[in-house]
Amino acid sequence: MSDTRPTNVSGAVSTVADLDKDEAWLQEWLKEEPSRLGLGDLSVADSAPVQNEDGNPAFLATDDDRYFSVDVRLGEMEAAHGFQMLDNWARNRVRHPDKTHVAVLVTETASDRYRTTLETLAEHLPLVVVELSVWRGETEAILVPRVALASDDVDLSTTPAVAAAAATKPDLRDAAEDSVPEDDDEADKVEAATSDEGVADESGSNDPDPETGVEDPWRLPKEDADTLSPSETGSLAGVSGS
C-alpha cells in the first residue's frame, strides 16, 4: 500500500508580492477557480462584471443560491478598499435584483484599525472578509484562505476558510471560560485572594486613623509607640522636630 501521508517540508510566511505576483494575477487566479476563496463550491457568475475605479473587474461568483461580489486587494486593508467593495456589491445588487448578494473582501491582512467598522457593517449587510495567507517553501507556495469576519446571516459553517479560521485563531470567549476554575473550593480561594477580606491586615482593623481620619489603603501593620525602644522613639522625635 502506498503512503498517502503528506510530505513535511520547511517553509516561511510570505506575501503575494514576494512571489513576484500582483493584484491582477491574484484576481485571475481566484477567478479561474473560485473555490480557492475557501467559501465553498463557487463558479463565475458574470462574464462582464462591474468595473472598479482602477479598471480591475469586480469578481462575481455564485453558489447557485447567492452572488458573491469579490474585491481582491494585496497587502493590508485600507479604507478605500472597503468603500470599493461596497460599491461593487451595491451595483451588482442593481444588476441582479433577483439574487441574494454577499460582499466579499479578500486581503492579506485585515487591519485592526477598521475592525470595528467592518463588524458594524456586518450587522447590517451580508459581508465576508477573507484573509489570504501565503506559505512558501523551496519550490512551491501555498495560498491559504481564512475567514476573518462574516455576518451572522451568511452561512459558511462547512467551508474550508471557516475551518482554517477555527484552527488558527480560537474564540477568545472560549479561552476566557477555560480559565475559570471549575472546582468550587478553588474558586473560593481566588475570590478570597482578590477581595478586600482576603488582604492581610495585621493591625486587625481598617478603621480610619483616629488622629487624621484617613484610612490606610495599604492596610500595613501598625506598631504602638509604647512598644518602641527608647532609641526608636528618640529618632522619631528628632524627625518630627526637624
Q: What is the pLDDT of residue 208?
A: 61
Is the pTM higher than 0.75? The answer reads no
Q: CA-based Rg of the chain, rounded to a whole angstrom?
A: 31
Instruction: Specify burial of residue 20 (Cβ count, 10 A radius: 0-12, 13-18, 19+).
Output: exposed
- 235: pLDDT strictly greater than 60: no
Angle between the 79-95 and 115-122 helix axes, to the nearest 10 degrees? 20
Q: What is the pLDDT of residue 83?
A: 86
Q: How far apart are CA 240 and CA 95, in angstroms?
A: 87
Q: What is the pLDDT of residue 62?
A: 93
Please check whether residue 75 is in contact with residue 17, taking contact to mean a CB–CB distance below 8 angstroms: yes
- 147: pLDDT strictly greater than 80: yes
102 or 234: whose pLDDT is higher? 102
Q: What integer best gives the mean pLDDT of the chain?
A: 73
Q: What is the pLDDT of residue 19?
A: 87
Q: Which residues pair with 76 in a beta bridge?
A: 109
How large a percentage of the chain has pLDDT more than 90? 21
Instruction: Flag the least confident range among 16-20, 87-91, 142-146, 211-215.
Output: 211-215
DSSP 74-92: EEE--HHHHHHHHHHHHHH
- DSSP 8-state secondary structure symbol assigned to residue 142: E
Q: What would the pLDDT profile of 173-203 be if each residue is shown by its tens digit?
A: 343 444 444 455 655 654 555 454 444 444 4
Q: Which residues pair with 101 in a beta bridge?
A: 67
Q: Which residues pair with 62 in a beta bridge?
A: 43, 67
- 219: pLDDT strictly greater than 60: no
Q: What is the pLDDT of residue 197?
A: 45
| Distances from the Cα of 233 to the Cα of 120, 162, 210, angstroms | 67, 72, 20
| Distances from the Cα of 76 to the Cα of 91, 116, 133, angstroms | 25, 16, 12
Pick the CATH number of 12-170 from 3.30.230, 1.10.4030, 3.40.1350, 2.30.30: 3.40.1350
Domain ranges of the chain: 12-170, 181-224
Instruction: Flag the least confident range among 25-34, 43-52, 160-169, 198-207.
Output: 198-207
